[in-house]
């Protein structure tokens, strides 16, 4: 089999009908708010550190704790949504997220700030993981791939634009009011979701909730090659992406001498690359098949990692060289992420919440690992370390995806 082709579906809902008008931007916003709240504080670190008397290592806990709580929270939210529906969890989670932002804004020391970030993560993980589950509830086939592409673009755009937004917010309203502003966005999203979308997971498709069923459900997913292969791909490309996020301040601000404004503009520019790739990927998949397109994207991302490493070795002080190299990686990542997400979710309609939760857990675990590896290898030239990590992640993704695809094909052919 040359590749899985996701056939043109009859969507669960007509995208043009009044009842679902506005759903796509809503799903994108639900998916993006977590990433926005993560990266908006990156350019604020020096000011927060000075204000709270904290070191950069201590402030790093605001990221690592956020990732850890976010990843683990998804494992709880997914099965709950399969049993009780999506709506209550999304609304409740966003309200918890808003409370976390208020705690951050009132922080008098690093411990209180970390607590606020943990509360934010515990709440916002529901919106992020269930945005994918909502898409799976509402769409199928190529329509699902296109919707997921837009969701992934939004998730990439949020960290791309949020440093620029954070720099501007700090200048005009300060870092504490920036957290309040993020909470206000979360509250606005609650009202938007409540007005636009009813419950999408019908009672007839809900599954009983018990600890045994949760562990058994996750165990089945982790033993199913249809899920594990694309899920590992998502984890690897996300690990590379967050490795870039972690290395970017050192590379761009210290190594290449960008200002905080220039840093934000650079990140905003990367959004265009991911956006173009997210639009192109499903179009290529329509003709070549989804799996073939995933392979193409992985090799493009691998080439991008090599080019970052080569830039560090040959021309480490040139911004254009680094920008071109990382753009190649981001283009490949932008192709791979939505298509692999679709491959992982399509076979599990009745367990879309649990499948999306486990996928999100692996994705955030990859993000945490990528960030940790970049930090651990910081004694190397940061650009060199980033290039090596990007290459290693794509090699693992290609190998695992290929092996599990071969295993699945062997089982299917008997």
pLDDT number for residue 225: 87
Q: Quick one: pLDDT at residue 302?
A: 97
**43 contacts 163 by C-beta, under 8 angstroms:** yes
pLDDT for position 326? 95
Tell me what pLDDT residue 325 has: 95
Please report how the helices 110-138 and 141-196 are oriented relative to each other, as an axis angle in degrees rounded to 10.
120
Degrees, nearest 5: CA angle 27-206-200: 25
CA 290 to CA 287: how far, in whole Å? 9
- Per-residue model confidence as pLDDT tens digits over 291-349: 999 999 999 999 999 999 999 988 888 899 999 999 999 999 989 988 898 888 878 87
Cβ neighbour number for residue 253 with a 10 Å cutoff: 16
DSSP 131-165: HHHHHHHH--HHHHHHHHHHHHHHHHHHHHHHHHH
Residue in the structure block whose two tokens are 């058994």: 216
Kindly state the tokens that stand for 359: 């996928």
Tokens of 23: 């759903």
* Phi/psi at 289 (5° precision): 95, 150
Pairwise CA distance, residues 364 & 197, whole Å: 27
DSSP 209-250: --HHHHHHHHHHHHH-HHHHHHHHHHHHHHHHHHHHHHHHII
Q: Are 390 and 328 in contact (CB under 8 A)?
A: no
- What's residue 159's pLDDT? 67
Burial code (b: 16+ CB inside 10 Å, e: under 16) for 322-350 equals bbebbbbbbbbbbbbbbbbbbbbbbebee
CB 302 within 8 A of CB 358: no
Give the pLDDT score at 413: 62
Domains of the chain: 20-198+214-413 (1.20.1250.20)
The one-digit pLDDT tens for each residue of the chain (414 residues) are 344 443 333 444 443 433 334 678 888 889 888 878 877 877 777 788 888 887 766 777 787 788 888 888 888 888 888 778 888 899 999 999 999 999 999 999 989 999 999 999 999 988 888 888 888 788 777 677 777 777 777 776 776 677 777 777 777 888 899 899 999 999 999 999 988 887 776 676 767 667 777 788 888 889 888 899 999 999 999 899 888 887 887 888 778 888 777 877 887 788 788 888 888 888 898 889 889 999 999 999 999 999 999 999 888 888 999 999 999 999 999 899 888 988 888 788 767 778 888 888 898 888 888 888 887 776 677 899 899 999 999 999 999 998 887 776 666 565
Please report which helix (H) or strand (E) contains residue 279, including its range: helix 260-288
Place of tokens 């050192």: 250
The vertex-317 CA angle with 311 and 322, nearest 5°, equals 40
Q: Are 67 and 367 in contact (CB under 8 A)?
A: yes
Q: Is residue 187 within 8 Å of 98, Cβ to Cβ?
A: yes
* Exposed e or buried b per residue across 264-295, where buried means at least 16 C-beta atoms within 10 angstroms of its C-beta: bebbbebbebbbbbbbbbbebbbebbbbbbbb
Enter the tokens of residue 118: 């943990």
184-212 confidence digits (pLDDT tens): 999 999 999 988 887 776 676 767 667 77
Place of tokens 């995806």: 401
- Which pLDDT belongs to residue 283? 86
């Amino acid at each position: 089999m040359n590749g899985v082709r996701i056939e043109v579906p009859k969507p669960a809902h007509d995208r043009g009908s009044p009842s679902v008008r506005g759903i796509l931007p809503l799903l994108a916003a639900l998916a993006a708010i977590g990433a926005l709240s993560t990266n908006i504080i990156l350019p604020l670190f020096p000011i927060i550190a000075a204000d709270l008397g904290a070191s950069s290592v201590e402030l790093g806990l605001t990221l690592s704790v956020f990732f850890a709580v976010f990843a683990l929270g998804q494992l709880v939210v997914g099965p709950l949504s399969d049993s009780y529906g999506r709506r209550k969890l999304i609304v409740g989670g966003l309200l918890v997220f808003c409370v976390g932002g208020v705690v951050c804004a009132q922080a008098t020391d690093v411990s209180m700030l970390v607590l606020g970030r943990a509360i934010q993560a515990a709440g916002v993980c529901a919106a992020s993981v269930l945005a994918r589950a909502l898409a799976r509830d509402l769409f199928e086939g190529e329509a699902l791939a296109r919707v997921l592409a837009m969701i992934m673009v939004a998730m990439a755009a949020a960290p791309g634009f949020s440093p620029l937004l954070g720099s501007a917010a700090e200048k005009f309203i300060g870092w504490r009011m920036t957290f309040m502003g993020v909470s206000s966005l979360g509250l606005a999203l609650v009202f938007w979701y409540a007005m636009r979308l009813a419950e999408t997971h019908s009672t007839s498709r809900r599954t009983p909730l018990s600890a045994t069923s949760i562990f058994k459900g996750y165990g089945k997913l982790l033993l199913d090659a249809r899920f594990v292969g694309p899920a590992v791909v998502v984890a690897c490309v996300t690990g590379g992406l967050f490795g870039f996020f972690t290395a970017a301040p050192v590379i761009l601000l210290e190594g290449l001498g960008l200002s905080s404004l220039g840093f934000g503009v650079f990140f905003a520019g990367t959004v265009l690359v991911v956006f173009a790739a997210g639009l192109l990927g499903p179009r290529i998949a329509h003709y070549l098949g989804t799996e073939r397109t995933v392979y193409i994207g992985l090799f493009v991302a691998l080439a991008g990692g090599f080019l970052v490493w080569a830039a560090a070795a040959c021309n480490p002080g040139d911004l254009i060289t680094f920008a071109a190299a990382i753009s190649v990686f981001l283009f490949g990542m932008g192709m791979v992420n939505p298509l692999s997400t679709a491959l992982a979710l399509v076979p599990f309609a009745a367990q879309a919440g649990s499948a999306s939760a486990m996928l999100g857990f692996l994705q955030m675990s990859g993000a945490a690992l990528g960030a940790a590896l970049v930090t651990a290898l910081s004694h190397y030239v940061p650009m060199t370390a980033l290039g090596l990590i990007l290459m290693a992640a794509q090699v693992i993704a290609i190998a695992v995806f290929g092996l599990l695809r071969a295993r699945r094909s062997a089982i299917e052919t008997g």
